[in-house]
Amino acid sequence: MHSLPLFHRLTGQKVILLAEGEAGEAKRRLLERAGAVCVGEDDPDARLAFIALDEPEAAAARLKARGLLLNVTDVPELCDFTVPSLLERGPVLVAVGTGGASAGLAKALRLRLETLLPASLGALAEALQAARGAMRARWASGAERRRALDAALAEGGVLDPLDAGSAVRVADWLAGGGDGAGGTFEFTVTGDDPDDLTLRQARWLGAADLVAFEPGVAGAILTRARADAARLELETEQVPDQAAGLTVIIRRG
């Protein structure tokens, strides 16, 4: 991964926009939709800049010298950050980026996702936000809440995000929802390609609180685990102590 995706709050923030033509108007609409205030090059308070000019090099050099972070349309080598193709469902934002390699590919993938993700996703996110206090009361620890949510939001779960009726079931789930899966699951990998994982194995990794693995397990497979999951490299045939929550053991075949 060559860049770190971030969601930057721009409401009320000044952003330099040096642009012309259709590309410039597109950038202006994007920034204003995000709540930014578009300003000129001389504004001293701006920290970000968008450039959409036929010959952007000189402007980019001036702004870089001032320490601003730049996005330069169609010139990825001058960019400090790129703008992904965005899918919006209320507060849910899905960003598809290629690191500047192909905006067309990012758009094509976003359009495919548009057909899969229902408009109700926004309502589900808002319902879960409103239920934060009730979730803390129902499940005292963060690990308990995470396991319960994982189970509810799984495919076929009571709050399956792809089910258009999930948003209206949040209250019923809180009243009697399950606590989610715990325990230990173990499987063996024989290759280094994470696409060879079964759907069940990928789900275990995505929900695990502890990932224990033998030497030689590919990093590409381990990155399928939650970023905040604890990790433990095992000695051969070692079995980790039982941990609270979900433990996944990966053996090297």
Model confidence at 177: pLDDT above 70: no
Domain ranges of the chain: 14-116, 121-176, 183-252
- pLDDT band at residue 242 using 50, 70 and 90 as cut-offs: low
Model confidence at 31: pLDDT above 70: yes
Model confidence at 176: pLDDT above 80: no
pLDDT at 201: 87
Burial 19-51 (b: 16+ CB within 10 A, else e): beeebbeebbeebeeeebbbbeeeeeebebbbb
- pLDDT band at residue 243 using 50, 70 and 90 as cut-offs: low
Q: DSSP secondary structure string, 162-226? A: TSTTGGGGHHHHHHH------EEEEEEE-SS-GGGS-HHHHHHHHH-SEEEE-TT--HHHHTTS-
Q: What is the mean pLDDT of residues 110-138?
A: 93
Identify which of 47, 54, 113, 105 has the alpha carbon closest to the alpha carbon of residue 81: 47
- Residue 194: C-alpha distances to residues 89, 209, 236 (Å): 29, 19, 22
- pLDDT band at residue 183 using 50, 70 and 90 as cut-offs: confident
CATH for 14-116 is 3.40.50
Model confidence at 180: pLDDT above 80: no
Q: What is the mean pLDDT of residues 125-140?
A: 93
What pLDDT, in 10s, does the model give residues 59-118? 999 999 999 999 999 898 999 998 888 899 999 999 998 877 888 999 999 999 999 999
Average pLDDT over the chain, rounded to an integer: 89
% of residues, the chain, pLDDT over 90: 53
pLDDT at 14: 98
pLDDT at 178: 61
pLDDT at 244: 58
H or E stretch covering 52: strand 48-52
Model confidence at 48: pLDDT above 70: yes
Rounded to whole angstroms, how far apart are CA atoms 232 and 94?
31
Identify which of 122, 128, 165, 123 has the alpha carbon closest to the alpha carbon of residue 149: 128
- pLDDT band at residue 27 using 50, 70 and 90 as cut-offs: very high
Model confidence at 23: pLDDT above 80: yes
Identify which of 209, 205, 203 has the alpha carbon closest to the alpha carbon of residue 241: 209
Model confidence at 181: pLDDT above 60: no
Model confidence at 179: pLDDT above 80: no
CATH topology of domain 183-252: Cobalt-precorrin-4 Transmethylase; domain 1 (3.40.1010)
